[in-house]
Amino acid sequence: MAVVGLVLMVIVVLALLAGVHRYLWRRLVGDTTAEGSALRRAGTVAAYVLPLLSVGALVSGRAGAPFWLQKVLAWPGYLWLAAVLYLTLALLVGEAVRPVLRRVLARRADRAGRPEGAGTGTDTASADGAFGADPANDVKESEIPSSASAGASGSASASGAPGTLVADAPAPPRTEAPTRRLFVARAVGGAAAVAGLGTVGYGTYGVLRGPRVKRITVPLAKLPRSAHGFRIAVVSDIHLGPILGRDHTRRIVDTINRTQPDLVAVVGDLVDGTVADLGPAAEPLARLRARHGNYFVTGNHEYYSGAAQWVDQVRELGLHPLENARVEIAGFDLAGVNDVAGESEGQGPDFARALGDRDRTRAAVLLAHQPVVIHDAVAHGVDLQLSGHTHGGQLWPGNFIADLANPTGAGLDRYGDTQLYVSRGAGAWGPPVRVGAPSDITVVELASRQA
Q: Got the DSSP string for 375-413? A: HHHHHTT-SEEEE--SGGGSBTTHHHHHHHHSS-SSEEE
Three-state DSSP class for residue 90: helix
Backbone angles phi, psi at 359, to 5 degrees: -80, 110
- Which residues are CB-contacts of 136 (< 8 A; sequence separation ≥ 6)? 172, 173, 174, 175
> Three-class SS of residue 327?
strand
Apex CA 19: angle with CA 17 and CA 20, to 5°? 65
Write phi, then psi, for 296 (nearest 5 degrees).
-140, 140
Helix (H) or strand (E) holding 83: helix 67-111
Tens-digit pLDDT profile for the chain (451 aa)? 667 776 788 788 888 889 999 999 999 999 999 999 999 999 999 999 999 999 999 999 888 899 999 999 999 999 999 999 999 999 999 999 999 998 888 888 888 765 544 444 444 433 343 333 333 333 333 333 443 343 333 443 334 444 444 445 555 554 444 688 899 999 999 999 999 999 999 999 999 999 999 999 999 999 999 999 999 999 999 999 999 999 999 999 999 999 999 999 999 999 999 999 999 999 999 999 999 999 999 999 999 999 999 999 999 999 999 999 999 998 999 999 999 999 988 999 999 999 988 999 999 999 999 999 999 999 999 999 999 999 999 999 999 999 999 999 999 999 999 999 999 999 999 999 999 999 999 999 999 987 6
Give the SS3 label for residue 10.
helix
Q: In the chain, how many H helices and how many E strands?
A: 15, 12
Which residues are 161's β-sheet partners?
none
Counting Cβ atoms within 10 Å, is residue 338 exposed (0-12), middle (13-18) or buried (19+)?
buried
Residues sharing a CB contact under 8 Å with residue 369, sequence separation 6 or more, in sequence order: 236, 267, 268, 269, 297, 298, 299, 300, 339, 387, 388, 389
Q: What is the pTM of this model?
A: 0.82
Would you say how long the chain is, in residues?
A: 451
- Cα(314)–Cα(326) distance, integer angstroms: 17
